[in-house]
């Protein structure tokens, strides 16, 4: 796929490997810059919050720009938030005591299932949000997590593992996914491509 003119800033929390998500977003036709510098995050035209790390560790890295970053997301800067990246969009998590970005009200809780983490393939049910266009409801995606948000007003997809949880949310121009699209074959590739297409229109 041809490169677009849209630069994507991928946030490095310095707590895990982000190579796979960087490559997947590049394959969708973008130019990815990986950074942990606060000034880069606040200047970004398009953000990716990757899915590695624990809630408190990630928020510890983002705390200096927490309020400013949340404000930019509310203002409509396109953002793809994966796994822990999606969880930090909320106000809090049972995983730790740090304050999240608060873009979404409420919190993230430990999954009510005997076997944790929830690791492997599971189905994602949705009602046709454009960011899941071409992905049939009930398609399989890859998960690795022990915490997740409930189903709420911003939920655009749901998954069951010891009870229903929100596996995708959308607020302003932020798309949050609890699954790992970079590990989810064609279905995940479509989600990333739809996000990039949306980001190009608003970026």
What does the pLDDT read at residue 2? 47
- Rg of the chain taking only CA atoms, in angstroms: 15
CATH number of 7-108+167-202: 3.40.50.880
Start-end of H helices in 76-166: 84-87
Count of alpha carbons within 13 Å of 200, Cβ hemisphere only? 15
What does the pLDDT read at residue 3? 47
Annotated catalytic residue, options 118, 145, 180, 194: 180
Annotated catalytic residue, options 46, 79, 83, 126: 83
Among residues 191, 181, 193, 200, the alpha carbon closest in space to that of 78 is found at: 200
Asked whether 5 and 33 are in contact (CB, 8 A), the reply is no
Residue ranges, the chain, pLDDT below 50:
1-3
Instruction: Indicate if 46 belongs to the active site.
Output: no
What does the pLDDT read at residue 130? 92
Cis peptide before 31 (omega within 30 of 0): no
Annotated catalytic residue, options 46, 79, 182, 193: 182
Round to whole Å and give the CA distance between 83 and 38.
Answer: 21
Supply the pTM of this predicted model. 0.95
Annotated domain spans of the chain? 7-108+167-202
What does the pLDDT read at residue 13? 86
Instruction: Indicate if 83 belongs to the active site.
Output: yes
What does the pLDDT read at residue 4? 54
């Amino acid at each position: 796929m041809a490169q677009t003119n849209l630069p994507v800033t991928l946030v490095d929390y310095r707590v895990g490997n982000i190579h796979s998500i960087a490559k997947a977003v590049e394959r969708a036709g973008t130019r990815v810059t990986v950074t942990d510098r606060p000034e880069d995050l606040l200047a970004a035209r398009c953000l990716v919050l990757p899915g590695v790390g624990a809630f408190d560790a990630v928020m510890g890295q983002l705390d200096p720009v927490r309020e400013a970053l949340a404000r930019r997301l509310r203002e409509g800067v396109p953002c793809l938030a994966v796994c822990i990246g999606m969880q930090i969009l909320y106000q809090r998590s049972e995983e730790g005591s740090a304050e999240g970005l608060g873009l979404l009200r409420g919190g993230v809780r430990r999954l009510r299932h005997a076997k944790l983490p929830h690791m492997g393939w599971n189905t994602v049910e949705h009602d046709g949000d454009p960011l899941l266009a071409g992905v049939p409801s009930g398609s399989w995606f890859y998960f690795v997590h022990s915490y997740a948000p409930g189903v709420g007003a911003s939920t655009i997809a749901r998954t069951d593992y010891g009870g229903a949880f929100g596996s995708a949310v959308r607020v302003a121009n932020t798309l949050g996914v609890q699954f790992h699209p970079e590990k989810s074959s064609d279905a995940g590739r479509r989600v990333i491509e739809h996000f990039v297409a949306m980001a190009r229109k608003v970026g």
